[in-house]
Structure 1
């Protein structure tokens, strides 16, 4: 079976989402790191794979897919008989997985990403202090 190519950044929570599922399934992959600080994701060669200039992107042979949640569903289905069942077997199991994926998208992800940006990425990668007002807004849906 051909090796997946994952184009992304290891510290990205979106790339990590894909890598976790690949590892759970025992899939063979290679991570091609992209220089986000150098804006490599906005260059024509990356935009040809991902028109919005985002990560991650996977290439599975001739097939290219972007959007981490679509990617993880694809991997879960492709490797259905390998490793743990991540997407469910029955209609009801799949519906429950979809329910909790929707909860993650709407309820968990926005405050988590906002908090991560303010506490880690902003100071470490941008050299800027945490914006306490933005941090409060990020945390407010959680409490």
Structure 2
């Protein structure tokens, strides 16, 4: 069984766990307690030199970075009904290109701003540092503008890369869920009906519901 080394509440750990669930692939979660700096200890750094979670051990193959893990799992373990999660150039070059575009959109136009917003609103509390409300306001304005562009894309297709769900859509789930838990309705506002429809669709998937709170 593949071992997933991670901190159950972490966004990246849940992103990887989500793909295990999507594929119906069993895994053993090896908990890494980030509250005690276990991810910075020498044994952990020997496997993940950046001191981040998660990483996997698949019969000796050690791999880190949640999106790389997701791609690997689909490439190796996906059954025919899961192949749409990650289009390939050999299968359909245009679908592959749209998929790569969508993956880039998530990284460049969503993840980076959500990471900063989560730091300001949530994680600063644990370090005893005050939230900078000016930064929060700026980040929310930026995210609103980015999601306006999402609305344009999703008016044309059901999902970001076409009419079938892909990893690019699923990668949004951990931070998208946190956005709602922080009290911001950017993904569900009636002013962006296509984004709202898309978010309701992907966030209701059984695989996400299984790891929504913890991997």
What's the offset of the Cα at 1:16? 1.1
Aligned to 1:133: 134
1:57–1:64 Cα contact (<8 Å) kept: yes
Aligned to 2:86: 87
Q: TM-score, normalised by structure 2?
A: 0.60
Aligned to 2:116: 114
Q: Which has the higher contact order (CA 8 A, sep 6+)?
A: 2
Q: TM-score, normalised by structure 1?
A: 0.87
Q: What SS class does the counterpart of residue 12 from structure 2 fall into?
A: helix
Aligned to 2:66: 68
In the alignment, structure 2 segments of 5+ residues that lack a partner are 145-215
The structure that is helix-richer by fraction is 2
What's the offset of the Cα at 1:129? 3.4
What's the offset of the Cα at 1:138? 2.8
1:26–1:82 Cα contact (<8 Å) kept: no
Matches of 1:38 and 1:102 in 2, distance apart? 33
Count of aligned pairs: 140
**Over aligned residues, Cα RMSD in angstroms?**
1.7
Q: Which 4+ residue blocks in structure 1 deviate beyond 6 angstroms?
A: none
What's the offset of the Cα at 1:127? 4.3
Matches of 1:134 and 1:46 in 2, distance apart? 33
Matches of 1:111 and 1:132 in 2, distance apart? 15
